Amino acid sequence: MDAAATGGGKRPRVAIVGAGFGGLWAARTLANTAFDVVVIDRNNYHTFLPLLYQVAAAELQPEQIAYPVRGIFRRTPNVDFIMAEVRGIDFAGRRLRTDGFEVPYDYLVLAMGSVTAFFGVDGAAEHAFRLKTLEQGIALRNHIMRCFERAAFEPDPVRRQRLLTFAIVGGGSTGVEYGGALAELIRGPIQKDFRAGRSGEARVVLIETRENVLPGYPEKLRRYARDRLRAIGVELRLEARVKKVCPDRLLLAGGTILPTQTVLWTAGVRGHSAYASWGLPVSSQGRIRIEPTLQLREHPEVLVIGDLSFIEGDEHLPLIAPVAVQQGRRAARNIMALAAGEPPSPFVYRDRGSMVTIGRGAAVVRLGRASFSGVVAWLLWLVVHLINLIGFRNRLIVLIHWSFNYFLFERAVRLILPRESSWVRQAQDTDR
Amino acid sequence: MDAAATGGGKRPRVAIVGAGFGGLWAARTLANTAFDVVVIDRNNYHTFLPLLYQVAAAELQPEQIAYPVRGIFRRTPNVDFIMAEVRGIDFAGRRLRTDGFEVPYDYLVLAMGSVTAFFGVDGAAEHAFRLKTLEQGIALRNHIMRCFERAAFEPDPVRRQRLLTFAIVGGGSTGVEYGGALAELIRGPIQKDFRAGRSGEARVVLIETRENVLPGYPEKLRRYARDRLRAIGVELRLEARVKKVCPDRLLLAGGTILPTQTVLWTAGVRGHSAYASWGLPVSSQGRIRIEPTLQLREHPEVLVIGDLSFIEGDEHLPLIAPVAVQQGRRAARNIMALAAGEPPSPFVYRDRGSMVTIGRGAAVVRLGRASFSGVVAWLLWLVVHLINLIGFRNRLIVLIHWSFNYFLFERAVRLILPRESSWVRQAQDTDR
């Protein structure tokens, strides 16, 4: 452990920036090899982002979707962890500049992920909530619970309506899953504790520019999702475009005004704006242009994976965990090839399908050409996510451990969350 | 519910400020009576303070010792909750001023508890950590984990020593229990993940002005506690007085310097300094002088309980949960008496004893004249705390529920924690 203290040494040193899906799978693929691997992240934990929306909907505790990185690599002595914020790259000297010391590398994997993109919509960056990090998820949950507490004693019906209207911008998987979870929070726990829950004053409004939610999914599934969302009480505003976000209302193109103090923006992602200044080839959406082998053209010892990367001519890779995981593996294998003097291989995405829940007991699943929906789809979703969730843990962990022993006593309590600086800034700052 | 919206109405209205032990037990005693009861707290949850030290030692998750107040009173329709910060009292108009609307009352129970007292020690208020609120516990845990992350890559041994020395000021029950828990955190989880844990560089130093820890306990138990603390690796500095707290060191009377970036102050408590401005009779330690019946002399419809209260001639009541609980019950009964035109009764404390753990598997217990220590004492401590922890829950909750279903899915995730404003300020501000 503590490789940085000992320096690179004889063994080739791989630095991996980002402990998301891409970074973790790159590190796991390099576990117990002849490389010294160091994972660097600003947080000391990995966040299981596919379930982040459940934290924001007060369904899961933050600790249940976060894993201390050191815990994940406890049994792999050639993988170390550094909690630091990377500030830049010295390509010539092959060193990372961080907010602490410098980190030397022979091979570098960049896997910092993406941040929320607002496409310059007026007021969005200032007033909309984001859902890309655990802290943002907690901030959104806290805000929503606070809205109910305030509404409980707000005599003015107009103000109460503003407090109890929750707008979600973007009908992609995040928007759909969060809309469903939020509607069920209101119909469930909230109803027991607040008159607002019972009075039906609380509204969840989902705004999508296209004619229906879940673009990219088969028509059949999109129709199912739309009907299901309406059935559990989510108001859909389709073919609607957000013009402006204010602290107390949302303006749609055409002049419609939606009074609300809660706008969640899920309509787009981009690369962090800082990366251009790092001397990286940044695309218009702030993503980094790479070769099919995931390498930088100018610096073949640097590989970029996940949301952050952008393969020329392969623009249509979805920005989802499976792509990041497969690219992480490919990056690790290509680094082994390079070290062995062999040619790296291009990345090929194996699409195993995708799935989205719409509240409990309902989901849509696409498996290659096959696609289905309903309870069976939801059960499949559940199994897949549970397996992946516990997949981080070492061999013999079983579900009961995962949900009981493990969450209650071993892992979660060691998170550094929230970090000490201002909660609002942490949670709202687009550029992480 | 939502009593404030409906105003006092015919039923006499009892406002209870503070959802700690005193406030909650006053409200529970008034549950399902002819009173309209409203509990007011700045947080939407009750904190089980006897286990707060375990959150600060990364043993428990914050959610495991916090209960949403609305959940506790879900089945008692005459008890309502308002999340607000009380700013003052209009005694003549019998109304509470809050950061929101005003809250009318016929009877008022003040149970706001205490804050950390530094006795004017130089630098303590600025640089020492506190352990009186859940946010302070989380901030301390995060800081300690961050110290280990930084030390892992700190080449300079002097700086590393500062990062890995943890000082606790005060050898009362909080200091002893936290010292033991921290020593075991270092010998346990930390050792698995950090070289610092294995190298034995990490130190826990407990500073007490008296000749031994746990003043007020029988000699036998104090000796046991001292020996036990040393056995698990806590350095004791007895008959030592803190002169000054700096960001990077602690100065003791006599000139001893202890290099450390972590000082926890547990050496004293006081009432919030704001209460004097509320027109309350405040003692030198900022506590409120009350009659033996817990009433204010000038305003017999106002009762004060818990750490905050101070009964003339009964100065030596310990500031512990059982006193607050018994005073809460007494306050509620006295309000019923006043409403019925009967005379209120003076508070009489029934001392059922007290207990302190020193790490896992060891504790000291005092029961009236009887006193014992060791594993049996620890098991008793465990049972007593588990019972009280689940005691909040409605009828049929069993332990497995408490530890599994309940924590994982129902209660904890609805906490508004941390509140949105600056984490540091929230956690550090003495006056809550």
Q: What is the CATH number of the domain that holds B96?
A: 3.50.50.60
Whether residues B251 and B159 share a domain: the answer is yes
What's the CATH number where A205 sits?
A: 3.50.50.100
B95-98/B102-104 β-pairing: antiparallel
Facing residue for A418 by CB, picked from B64, B415, B423: B423
Contact B58 A413 (CB under 8 A): yes
Is B127 within the bounds of a domain? no
Structural element, H or E, at residue A385: helix A375-390
Pairwise CA distance, residues B189 & A68, whole Å = 12
pLDDT computed for residue B389 by the predictor: 66
Residues 6+ apart with CB under 8 A from B231: none
Same-domain pairing of B360 and B326:
no
Output the CA angle B4-B10-B16, nearest 5 degrees.
Answer: 45
Question: Quick one: A234 and A154 in the same domain?
Answer: yes
Does A283 lie in the same domain as A319? yes
- Where is the domain boundary, A282, A313, A339? A339
Longest dimension (CA), chain A: 73
Beta bridge partners of A109: A16, A303
Q: Which residues share a beta bridge with B303? A: B109, B295
CA distances from B140 to A319, A415, A416, B130, B152 (A): 37, 12, 10, 8, 19
Are A149 and B59 an interchain contact pair (Cβ–Cβ within 8 Å)?
no
Domain match, B152 and B284 both? no
Catalytic residue (choose from B177, B184, B208, B420) = B177
Q: Measured between beta carbons, which residues in chain B are less than 8 angstroms from residue A145?
A: 44, 414-416
Strand-pairing partners, residue A115, are A270
pLDDT value, residue A196:
61
**Dihedral angle computed from the Cα positions of residues B405, B408, B414 and B416, in that order, rounded to the nearest 10 degrees:** 140
Residue written as tokens 């859909």?
A: A236
Same domain, A250 and A329: no
Residue A400 lies in a domain: yes
A375: its two tokens: 């309870």
Q: Which of B170, B173, B172, B174 is nearest to B205 (CA)?
A: B170
Which of B61, B75, B76, B79 is the best mutation test for A, with the most CBs of A within 10 A?
B61
Contact B213, B236 (CB under 8 A): yes
CA distance A310 to B430: 50
Q: Tell me, what's the pLDDT at A396?
A: 31
| Per-residue model confidence as pLDDT tens digits over A362-414 | 999 998 889 999 989 988 887 887 777 654 443 333 344 334 333 333 323 34
Residue A422 and residue B417: Cβ atoms within 8 Å?
Answer: no
Q: What is the pLDDT of residue A255?
A: 94
B396 belongs to a structural domain: yes
The parts of chain B modelled with pLDDT lower than 50 are 1-8, 391-415, 418-432
Domain that holds residue B398: 144-268+353-408
| A83–B contact, CB cutoff 8 A | yes
Closest CA to A23 of A423, A320, A325, A341: A325
> Which pTM value belongs to this model?
0.89
Which residue is closest to B5 within chain A, CA to CA? Answer: A153
A207 phi/psi in degrees, rounded to 5:
-110, 125
Is A3 domain-assigned? Answer: no
Which of A146, A404, A427 lies closest to B416 in CB terms? A146
Q: Is residue A8 part of a domain?
A: no
CA distance A329 to chain B (A): 25
Q: What is the pLDDT of residue B156?
A: 93
B143/A420 Cβ within 8 A: yes
Out of A1, A145, A414, closest to residue B414 by CB: A145
Which chain A residue shows the shortest CA-CA distance from B1? Answer: A195
Verify whether the Cβ–Cβ distance A60 to B101 is below 8 Å.
Answer: no
Please tell me if residue B195 touches chain A, with a CB cutoff of 8 Å: yes
SS3 string, A94-142, reads CEEEECCCEEECCEEEECCCCEECCCCCECHHHHCECCCCHHHHHHHHH
Backbone angles phi, psi at A144, to 5 degrees: -65, -45
User: With an 8 Å Cβ cutoff, is B194 touching chain A?
Assistant: yes
Name the residue among A173, A158, A171 with its Cα closest to residue A208.
A171
Neighboring chain B residues of A195 at a CB cutoff of 8 Å? 1-2
Q: How far apart are CA A363 and CA A373, in angstroms?
A: 6
Domain identity same for A85 and A163: no
Respond yes or no on whether the N-terminal peptide bond of residue A344 is cis (omega within 30° of 0): no
**pLDDT one-digit tens code per residue, A63-94:** 777 888 888 888 899 999 999 999 999 999 99
Is residue A56 scored above 60 in pLDDT? yes
Instruction: Look at A44 and B145 and tell me if their CB atoms are within 8 Å.
Output: yes
User: Which residue in the set A149, A155, A404 is minimally distant from B44, CB to CB?
Assistant: A149
Residue type, B151: A
From the number of C-beta atoms within 10 Å of its C-beta (0-12, 13-18, 19+), residue B395 rates as: exposed
pLDDT band at A237 (very low <50, low <70, confident <90, very high): very high
CA distances from A64 to A260, A303, A415, B136, B317 (A): 30, 31, 11, 22, 41
3-state secondary structure chain B: CCHHHHCCCCCCEEEEECCCHHHHHHHHHCCCCCCEEEEEECCCEEECHHHHHHHHCCCCCHHHHEEEHHHHCCCCCCEEEEECCEEEEECCCCEEEECCCEEECCEEEECCCCEECCCCCECHHHHCECCCCHHHHHHHHHHHHHHHHHHCCCCCHHHHHHHCEEEEECCCHHHHHHHHHHHHHHHHHHHHHCHHHHHCCCEEEEECCCCCCCCCCCHHHHHHHHHHHHHCCEEEECCCCEEEECCCEEEECCCCEEECCEEEECCCEECCHHHHHHCCCECCCCCEEECCCCECCCCCCEEECHHHEEECCCCCCCCCHHHHHHHHHHHHHHHHHHHCCCCCCCCCCCCCCEEEECCCCCEEEEECCEEEEEHHHHHHHHHHHHHHHHCCCCCCCCHHHHHHHHHHHHCHHHCCCCCCCCHHHHHHCCCC
pLDDT at A180 over 90: yes
Kindly state the percentage of chain A with pLDDT values over 70. 87
Half-sphere exposure of A55 (CA within 13 A, CB side): 24
Are A416 and B142 within 8 A, CB to CB? yes
Interface-testing mutation among B156, B201, B413, B426, with chain A (most A C-beta atoms within 10 A): B413
Distance from CA of A401 to the nearest CA of B (A): 11
In this complex, the residue of B82, B139, B414 whose CB is nearest that of residue A153 is B82
A-chain residues near B102 (CB < 8 A)? none
Touching check for B41 and chain A: CB below 8 Å?
Answer: no
A81 shares a domain with A212: no
CA–CA gap between residue B91 and residue B159 (Å, rounded): 55
Task: Please name the residue that has the structure tokens 């939610």.
Answer: A213
Q: Are residues B333 and B363 in the same domain?
A: no
In this structure, the answer to whether residues A246 and A287 fall within a common structural domain is: no
Per-residue confidence (pLDDT) for residue A8, from 0 to 100: 44
The C-alpha of B106 sits at a distance from chain A's nearest C-alpha, in angstroms, of 19
- Chain B residues in contact with A423 by the CB 8 A cut-off are 418-423
Question: How many angstroms separate the CA atoms of A174 and A357, rounded?
Answer: 10
Contact B413 A155 (CB under 8 A): no
Asked if residue B225 and residue B83 are part of one domain, the reply reads: no
Residue A427 has pLDDT above 60, yes or no: no
Cα-Cα-Cα-Cα torsion A258, A263, A264, A269, nearest 10 degrees, comes to 90
**Structure-block tokens of residue A384:** 């897949």
Question: Which residue is it, tokens 């217990």?
Answer: B365
Binary contact (B55, A143; C-beta < 8 A): no
Q: What is the dihedral of CA A373, A376, A379, A385, to 10 degrees?
A: -40
Query: Which of B143, B150, B193 lies at the smallest CB-CB distance from A70?
Result: B193
Quote the number of domains for chain B. 2
| Enclosing H/E stretch for A322 | helix A321-339
Give pLDDT, residue A356: 95
| pLDDT band (50, 70, 90) for residue A95 | very high
Q: What is the structure's pLDDT at B305?
A: 97
Scan for tokens 């200044």, then name that residue: A277
Statement to judge: residues A228 and A377 lie in one domain = yes
As a residue count, chain A comes to 432
Q: Provide the mean pLDDT of chain A.
A: 86
Q: Is B130 exposed, middle or buried (0-12, 13-18, 19+ CB in 10 A)?
A: buried
Chain B residues in contact with A427 (beta carbon < 8 A): 420
Whether B432 maps to a domain, the answer reads: no
Q: Which residues of A are catalytic?
A: 177
Residue of B nearest to A417 (CA): B142
Torsion of CA B416, A113, A351, A64, to 10 degrees: -30
Cβ–Cβ below 8 Å for A423 and B423: yes
**Interface size between A and B, measured as CB pairs under 8 A:** 141
User: pLDDT (tens digit, 9 = 90+) per residue, B264-295?
Assistant: 999 989 999 888 899 999 988 889 999 999 99
Does a structural domain hold residue A2?
A: no
pLDDT band at A179 (very low <50, low <70, confident <90, very high): very high
Contact A1 B194 (CB under 8 A): yes
| Residue B137 included in any domain | no
Which amino acid belongs to residue A232? I
Residues near A255 by beta carbon (within 8 Å), at least 6 away in sequence: none
Contact B58 A414 (CB under 8 A): yes
Residue B428 has a CB neighbour count (10 Å cut-off) of 19
In the block, tokens 């984990």 appear at B145
Q: Mean pLDDT, to the nearest integer, of A406-430?
A: 38
Subunit contact A420:B139, Cβ cutoff 8 A: yes
Residue A397: what pLDDT? 32
The rounded percent of chain A whose pLDDT value lies above 90 is 61
Which residue do the tokens 């995981």 mark? Answer: A325
Nearest alpha-carbon partner for B262 in B253, B273, B249: B249
Instruction: Please report the residues numbered 114 through 173 in chain B whose beta carbons come closer than 8 angstroms to any beta carbon of chain A.
Output: 139, 141-143, 145-146, 149-150, 152-153, 155
Contact status, residue A221 vs residue A354, Cβ threshold 8 Å: no
